[in-house]
């Protein structure tokens, strides 16, 4: 068997920038016939990260709520994102030592600016046709729409990949992705898969840090560690109904944003900012641990990925809350924490081209499994040149 190369591109709720990976999957003659549970895992060949320019990040934050001329602003941002997505794939290809035209396809999630599953819609800004024009290869995008049309949440979409990549025939595992929003995947040894969003990951921590300190995030959770968590504030924050909602469930900046936090802080104006940060960190740890204890109580191993995996104070809080279970990063399973989500969208692009379902209906609540994504073909002349070689 030969390898087929796919790129995966992800820009998450944290709004820090774009991650892209080049992943190699063993080629198969029966590519469209094998069930998901028998798929081979992929191998990372190259990766790149390109931070958002500050102007783009500010424009994305402004689009989190309605405003003047927002359709035009969203279209301009989508074009800027597409250019950045293409640039990051090109850099990842250079790191992998391959030509972009060697890629079978590129999976691009887009940037979520609104997520309203209760109204059956979710908005990811992207111009996939522009990405395909830049790269001259097929681009797979718009992964959430079909699941939403089938009655699902449209998220989280990574659990099927987590099952293929990290599932164990003998261990009950939970994969926790801590991006702007945190989500978990429950992987039972017999192969069944569950998952849902647990609540804020880094989104409130980053916002509060940026408001009071220099920089975009609290490196290693050092500022949070300097404060003391407030039990009263934590209890008030935990009163949010989302936390007690039964899965399937998903969320985003539409709910957990600075105004949500400010409303809760109105009764705690004397609390030092570092104590608020410590409490927000405890909120993330507590809601993740509570979700695992309630929905995956028999899990033996917890593996963490996403930007929050680099927050030593947060990971330690999870270890305390989840003891005696082991809490480790996905690095010990052979996949860097920063690459998991981008790899998932390379895998999802592969599933789309293979006409295999990419969602897990038990996770999203959809009426069944569905083939996800829309394909934007690369330029015809590029395909002709590839066929000649």
Chain segment 157-197, per-residue pLDDT in tens: 999 999 999 999 999 999 999 999 999 999 999 889 999 99
pLDDT at 39: 46
Give the whole-angstrom CA distance, residue 341 versus residue 161: 9
Query: In this structure, are 332 and 183 located in the same domain?
Result: yes
pLDDT at 200: 98
Half-sphere exposure for 89 (CA within 13 Å, toward CB)? 35
Asked if residue 161 is part of any domain, the answer here is: no
pLDDT class for 30, splitting at 50, 70, 90? very low
pLDDT at 40: 52
The CATH number covering residue 333 comes to: 3.30.420.40
Range of the domain at 150: 3-156+339-388
Helix, strand, or coil (residue 156): coil
User: Is residue 366 pLDDT above 90, yes or no?
Assistant: yes
52 contacts 37 by C-beta, under 8 angstroms = no
User: Is residue 37 pLDDT above 60, yes or no?
Assistant: no
Query: In this structure, are 172 and 315 located in the same domain?
Result: yes
Q: How many domains does the chain divide into?
A: 2
Query: In this structure, are 251 and 271 located in the same domain?
Result: yes
Give the whole-angstrom CA distance, residue 180 versus residue 64: 14
pLDDT class for 25, splitting at 50, 70, 90? very high
Determine what percent of the chain is predicted with pLDDT higher than 90.
91
218-268 confidence digits (pLDDT tens): 999 999 999 999 999 999 999 999 999 999 999 999 999 999 999 999 999
Asked if residue 329 is part of any domain, the answer here is: yes
User: Is residue 380 pLDDT above 80, yes or no?
Assistant: no
User: Is residue 316 pLDDT above 60, yes or no?
Assistant: yes
pLDDT at 36: 44
Give the whole-angstrom CA distance, residue 322 versus residue 331: 19
Ramachandran bin of 97, using left for φ above 0, alpha for ψ from -120 to 50, beta for the remaining angles: left
Query: In this structure, are 190 and 320 located in the same domain?
Result: yes
Query: In this structure, are 273 and 173 located in the same domain?
Result: yes
Rounded mean pLDDT of the chain?
94
CB atoms within 10 A of CB 385: 12
62-84 confidence digits (pLDDT tens): 999 899 999 999 999 999 999 99
Helix, strand, or coil (residue 52): coil
Determine what percent of the chain is predicted with pLDDT higher than 70.
94
Query: In this structure, are 350 and 333 located in the same domain?
Result: no
Give the whole-angstrom CA distance, residue 72 versus residue 82: 15
pLDDT at 94: 98
pLDDT at 144: 98
Asked if residue 162 is part of any domain, the answer here is: no
Give the whole-angstrom CA distance, residue 22 versus residue 278: 37
| pLDDT, average across residues 212-216 | 93
Query: In this structure, are 88 and 136 located in the same domain?
Result: yes
């Amino acid at each position: 068997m030969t390898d087929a190369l796919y790129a995966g591109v992800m820009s998450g709720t944290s709004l820090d920038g774009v991650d892209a990976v080049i992943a190699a999957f063993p080629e198969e003659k029966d590519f469209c016939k094998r069930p998901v549970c028998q798929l081979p895992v992929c191998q990372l060949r190259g990766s790149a990260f390109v931070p958002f320019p500050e102007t783009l990040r500010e424009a994305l934050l402004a689009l989190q709520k309605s405003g003047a001329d927002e359709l035009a602003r969203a279209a301009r941002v989508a074009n800027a994102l597409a250019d950045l997505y293409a640039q990051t794939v090109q850099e990842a290809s250079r790191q992998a030592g391959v030509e972009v035209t060697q890629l079978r396809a590129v999976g691009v999630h887009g940037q979520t600016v609104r997520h309203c599953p209760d109204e059956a819609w979710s908005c990811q800004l992207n111009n996939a046709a522009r990405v395909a024009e830049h790269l001259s290869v097929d681009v797979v995008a718009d992964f959430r729409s079909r699941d939403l049309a089938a009655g699902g949440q449209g998220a989280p979409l990574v659990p099927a990949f987590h099952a293929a990549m990290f599932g164990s025939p003998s261990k009950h595992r939970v994969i926790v992705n801590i991006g702007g929003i945190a989500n978990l995947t429950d992987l039972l040894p017999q192969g069944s898969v569950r998952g849902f969003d647990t609540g804020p990951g880094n989104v409130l921590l980053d916002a509060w840090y940026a408001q009071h300190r220099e920089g975009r995030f609290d490196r290693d959770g050092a500022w949070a560690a300097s404060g003391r968590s407030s039990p009263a504030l934590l209890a008030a924050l935990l009163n949010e109904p989302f936390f007690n909602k039964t899965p399937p469930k998903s969320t985003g900046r539409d709910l957990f944003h600075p105004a949500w936090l400010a409303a809760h802080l109105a009764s705690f104006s004397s609390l030092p900012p570092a104590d608020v940060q410590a409490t927000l960190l405890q909120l993330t740890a507590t809601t993740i641990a509570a979700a695992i204890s309630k929905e995956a109580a028999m899990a033996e191993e917890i593996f963490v990925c996403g930007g929050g995996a680099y927050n030593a104070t947060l990971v330690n809080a999870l270890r305390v809350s989840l003891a005696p279970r082991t809490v480790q990063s996905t690095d010990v399973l052979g996949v860097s924490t920063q690459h998991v989500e981008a790899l998932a969208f390379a895998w999802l692009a592969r599933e789309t081209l293979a006409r295999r379902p990419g969602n897990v209906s038990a996770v999203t609540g959809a009426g069944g499994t569905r083939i996800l994504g829309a394909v934007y073909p690369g330029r015809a002349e590029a395909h002709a040149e590839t066929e000649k070689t």
